[in-house]
């Protein structure tokens, strides 16, 4: 029995031995293979495939639903992400157009403008016309002339809705006017509807183009029509005052000196154009030989309130009047004042221009003056006199460019102060775009400022020569006066001009009080000159 059991155990062991050895060999092989693979893995780790969420047109439809639901920020962020997906390259024009529309709703007009430009450049005719229409609106809001001209050159008037055609007519008129194509400009201005918000500006520009073309009677008719249109507006209504100034200037252009003087006198004292009106009226008074009135205006122009105004011509005008009435001592005082205020200004401007200043440096000088005038801050001393930089901020192209920059700055501030926008991709994208745009706009404005400074330096050089000539005439006049005295000729102390008595001024609202000397000054800076002519 024990023998049978022993034989049975031997049989079992023989039967299982090959399998056990096979398992042991297999485990060793597997172990070696695993170690080898592990070593290879350390050298070059295997890349796991990244699962990308499939993007379809349903994603665009979802963004559209967000727009319709007023979820503009979420829609803008999603559309920005979609615009970067290669799978939707064929739909990029649509995505960019929708993104622009959404950004307009968020008051991010500058960022929106670039989306519309991208949609236009795609050439996808399904969205080009609509993108141009939107671009016209946002560039008009921004005052960006570069993008505005880009739009106008590509847009078809007939493709626009009726409410946007007036805007295009007005802007086309401006372009033609700048190109001195006056007849074409007038056609476009005349097509602006009387119900449009651009109607008053178009009417004013129509009068300007007529005046520039030498059609003074037509211009006067247009400006008077504009004044009548604003008859019920306040006395200081800018449109009405600007039209009245245009009437005075057109009359001066016609050499109707008396009519021009009367038109200038209707500019209200508390309007910003009043100082310009007084200055221009003085020239009309000089041409009409109303020397006393011209001197009264000259005193007003140079009161302490206007120390920061750039008006070198007014001092030369004043000296010429003194020359005509042979007041040589007064003339010498005025010419000395001119040298004190403006001779050094030319040197400062030329010194700044000749230095190695970047376009940004030119911009910064004017920015200080602009911030002081309109920002309510403290005056910051610059490298150029304030009266120079203040004058440059009045130049049309610089003023428009500075206004545009302010709008972009406000747009940037809107993003920075809103944590919701700032934290999203659309916020970072918008800030980067706006910073680049601001940099370009400032450099462009700096180049404008440099050009104006060069013109100002040239103008001052010419005026300095005229001041020297006036001084020569003064010396010559003194010499002739001495000759007459030597031969004992009486000097006629009467004047042939402006023979209006006190009753005339009292009747026209002026009041006279006792005074000493030749000038009397009232509380609001209105000077009256009552001196007499000293020439024979």
Query: Each residue of 471-529: pLDDT tens digit?
Result: 998 998 888 878 777 765 454 444 444 445 555 544 454 444 444 444 444 444 455 44
Q: Left if phi > 0, otherwise alpha if psi is -120 to 50, otherwise beta: which for 452?
A: alpha
Looking up tokens 């009486």 gives 490
pLDDT at 494: 45
Q: 174 CB contacts (<8 Å, ≥6 apart)? A: 185, 205
Residue-range domain boundaries for the chain: 58-160, 302-489
The residue among 476 and 252 whose pLDDT is bigger is 252
- Label residue 338 by pLDDT band (50, 70, 90): very high
Query: What is the pLDDT averaged over residues 99-122?
Result: 94
Instruction: Evaluate if residue 416 carries a pLDDT over 80.
Output: yes
**Could you give the 3-state DSSP secondary structure of residue 214?**
coil
> In this structure, are residues 316 and 332 in contact, taking their beta carbons and an 8 Å threshold?
no
Query: What is the pLDDT averaged over residues 197-213?
Result: 95
For residue 527, the surrounding DSSP H or E stretch is strand 527-529
The residue among 456 and 516 whose pLDDT is bigger is 456
Q: 511 CB contacts (<8 Å, ≥6 apart)? A: 522
pLDDT at 343: 84
Instruction: Evaluate if residue 535 carries a pLDDT over 80.
Output: no
Closest CA to 276 of 252, 311, 307, 224: 311
Q: Quote the radius of gyration of the chain (alpha carbons, Å).
A: 39
- The highest-level CATH class for domain 58-160 is mainly alpha
pLDDT at 57: 63
pLDDT at 533: 52
The residue among 86 and 22 whose pLDDT is bigger is 86
**Chain segment 208-247, per-residue pLDDT in tens:** 999 999 999 999 999 999 999 999 999 999 999 999 999 9
Q: 111 CB contacts (<8 Å, ≥6 apart)? A: 103, 411, 429, 430, 433, 434
Q: What tokens appear for 340 in the block?
A: 């004190």
C-alpha span between 356 and 457 (Å, rounded): 17
φ, ψ of residue 520 in degrees (nearest 5)? -130, 135
C-alpha span between 461 and 392 (Å, rounded): 17
Which range has highest mean pLDDT (119-123, 221-225, 305-309, 460-464)? 221-225
pLDDT at 503: 57
C-alpha span between 314 and 323 (Å, rounded): 14
- Label residue 64 by pLDDT band (50, 70, 90): very high
Averaged pLDDT score across all residues of the chain: 82
Q: 333 CB contacts (<8 Å, ≥6 apart)? A: none
For residue 416, the surrounding DSSP H or E stretch is helix 396-416
C-alpha span between 117 and 132 (Å, rounded): 8
Closest CA to 450 of 336, 387, 358, 373: 358
Looking up tokens 């969205």 gives 127
Query: What is the pLDDT averaged over residues 92-103?
Result: 95
- Label residue 6 by pLDDT band (50, 70, 90): very low
C-alpha span between 194 and 189 (Å, rounded): 11
For residue 414, the surrounding DSSP H or E stretch is helix 396-416
> In this structure, are residues 263 and 244 in contact, taking their beta carbons and an 8 Å threshold?
yes
**% of the chain with per-residue pLDDT over 90:** 55
Q: What tokens appear for 458 in the block?
A: 């040239």
C-alpha span between 72 and 65 (Å, rounded): 10
C-alpha span between 217 and 254 (Å, rounded): 9
Query: What is the pLDDT averaged over residues 185-205?
Result: 94
Instruction: Evaluate if residue 2 carries a pLDDT over 90.
Output: no
**Chain segment 131-141, per-residue pLDDT in tens:** 999 998 999 89
C-alpha span between 365 and 131 (Å, rounded): 37
């Amino acid at each position: 029995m024990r023998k049978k059991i022993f034989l049975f155990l031997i049989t079992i062991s023989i039967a299982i031995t090959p399998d056990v050895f096979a398992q042991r060999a297999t485990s060793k092989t597997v172990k070696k293979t695993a170690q080898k693979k592990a070593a290879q893995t350390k050298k070059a780790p295997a890349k796991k495939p990244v699962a990308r969420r499939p993007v379809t047109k349903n994603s665009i439809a979802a963004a559209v639903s967000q727009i319709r639901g007023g979820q503009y920020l979420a829609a803008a962020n999603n559309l920005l992400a979609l615009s970067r997906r290669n799978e939707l390259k064929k739909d990029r024009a649509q995505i960019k157009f929708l993104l622009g529309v959404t950004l307009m709703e968020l008051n991010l007009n500058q960022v929106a403008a670039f989306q519309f430009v991208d949609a236009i450049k795609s050439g996808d005719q399904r969205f080009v016309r609509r993108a141009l229409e939107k671009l016209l609106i946002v560039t008009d809001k921004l005052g960006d002339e570069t993008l505005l001209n880009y739009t106008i050159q590509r847009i078809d008037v007939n493709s626009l809705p009726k409410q946007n055609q007036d805007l295009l007519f007005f802007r086309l008129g401006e372009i033609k006017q700048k190109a001195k194509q006056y007849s074409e400009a007038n056609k476009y201005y005349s097509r602006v509807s009387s119900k449009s918000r651009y109607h008053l500006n178009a009417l004013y520009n129509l009068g300007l183009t007529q005046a520039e073309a030498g059609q003074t009677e037509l211009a006067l008719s247009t400006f008077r029509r504009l004044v009548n249109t604003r008859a019920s507006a306040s006395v200081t209504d800018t449109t009405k005052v600007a039209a009245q100034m245009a009437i005075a200037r057109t009359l001066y252009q016609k050499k109707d000196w008396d009519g021009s003087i009367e038109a200038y006198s209707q500019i209200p004292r508390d309007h910003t154009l009043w100082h310009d009106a007084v200055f221009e009226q003085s020239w009309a008074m000089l041409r009409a030989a109303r020397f006393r009135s011209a001197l009264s205006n000259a005193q007003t122009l140079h009161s302490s309130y206007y120390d920061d105004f750039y008006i070198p011509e007014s001092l030369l005008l004043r000296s010429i009047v003194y020359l005509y009435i042979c007041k040589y001592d007064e003339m010498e005082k005025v010419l000395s004042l001119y040298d004190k205020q403006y001779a050094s200004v030319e040197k400062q401007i030329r010194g700044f221009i000749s230095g190695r200043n970047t376009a940004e440096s030119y911009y910064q000088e004017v920015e200080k003056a602009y911030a002081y005038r309109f920002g309510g801050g403290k005056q910051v001393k610059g490298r150029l006199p304030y009266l120079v930089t203040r004058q440059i901020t009045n130049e049309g192209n610089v003023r428009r460019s500075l206004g545009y920059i302010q709008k972009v700055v406000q747009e940037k501030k809107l993003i920075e102060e809103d944590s919701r926008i700032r934290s999203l991709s659309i916020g970072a994208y918008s800030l980067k775009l706006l910073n680049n745009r601001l940099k370009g706009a400032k450099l462009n404005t700096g180049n404008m400022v440099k050009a104006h400074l060069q013109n100002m330096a040239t103008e001052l050089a010419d005026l300095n020569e005229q001041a020297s000539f006036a001084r020569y005439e003064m010396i010559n006049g003194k010499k002739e006066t001495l000759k007459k005295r030597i031969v004992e000729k009486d000097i006629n102390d009467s004047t042939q001009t402006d023979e209006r008595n006190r009753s005339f001024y009292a009747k026209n609202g002026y009041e006279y009080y006792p005074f000493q000397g030749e000038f009397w000054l009232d509380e609001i800076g209105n000077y009256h000159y009552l001196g007499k002519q000293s020439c024979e």
